[in-house]
Amino acid sequence: MTQSNFAELLNVPVTTYASWEQGVRTPSVDKAKEVAEILNIKWTIFFDHQVLETSSK
């Protein structure tokens, strides 16, 4: 599936989806859950790095 296809499926601009993939932006919880459902992964994976950064301070 292309970024364009996935972005359309999620109803977000391709640039937004691409920025999620590149780690520039983080999806909203709702969008993270949508992506996770499609990919059959845990939605919290999108926020794990933020949790680790917070807990190490």
Task: State how far the Cα of 50 lies from the Cα of 44, in Å rounded to an integer.
Answer: 10
Sign of the C-alpha dihedral computed for residues 30, 22, 38 and 8 taken in this order: positive
- Provide the pLDDT confidence category of residue 51 given band limits of 50, 70 and 90: very low
- Provide the pLDDT confidence category of residue 50 given band limits of 50, 70 and 90: low
Give the per-residue pLDDT at 49.
Answer: 66
C-alpha atoms less than 13 angstroms from C-alpha of 41 in its C-beta half-sphere: 9
| Helical H segments across the chain, by residue range | 3-10, 14-21, 29-39, 48-55
Supply the angle between the helices 3-10 and 29-39 in degrees, to the nearest 10. Answer: 120
The residue ranking higher by pLDDT, 4 or 48, is 4
9-37 tens-digit pLDDT: 999 999 999 999 898 998 899 999 999 99
